Amino acid sequence: QQQVKQSPQSLIVQKGGISIINCAYENTAFDYFPWYQQFPGKGPALLIAIRPDVSEKKEGRFTISFNKSAKQFSLHIMDSQPGDSATYFCAAVQEGPWAGNMLTFGGGTRLMVKP
């Protein structure tokens, strides 16, 4: 049973549009929610992350929205560009000295931004 469910699996957006990727989690002990970006032939790299004490975090064109009561969070990419074409993974972490930074990943979303 996947603890973090991600949708959609693939997404096509026109240049300049808004890309939205959604994730839902089961375990209420999760307390750190990162998004990773992966380009073809590369490993994933941290893009942006949020903790549940805030409902939104913005870094440039990338925004995470977080709904603790619904156990959902989403990534919004404003003014999407062809260079944003990549696979995006949401993840969840249960922090604490014994937890070991264990990332639980969603299934990934392949984003294509058309010129």
| Residue ranges binding another protein (CB under 8 A) | 2, 4, 6, 9, 32, 34, 41-46, 49, 89, 93, 95, 100-103, 105-108
CB of 89 to another protein, least distance (A): 6
- Beta strand 109-114 with 10-14 is parallel
CB of 115 to another protein, least distance (A): 25
Q: Which is nearer to another protein, 42 or 114 (CB)?
A: 42
Cis peptide before 82 (omega within 30 of 0): no
Q: Which is nearer to another protein, 43 or 60 (CB)?
A: 43
CB of 60 to another protein, least distance (A): 18
Report how far residue 65's alpha carbon sits from residue 45's, in angstroms, rounded to the nearest whole number: 20
**Whether the Cβ atoms of residue 19 and residue 80 lie closer than 8 Å to each other:** yes
Type of residue found at 14: Q
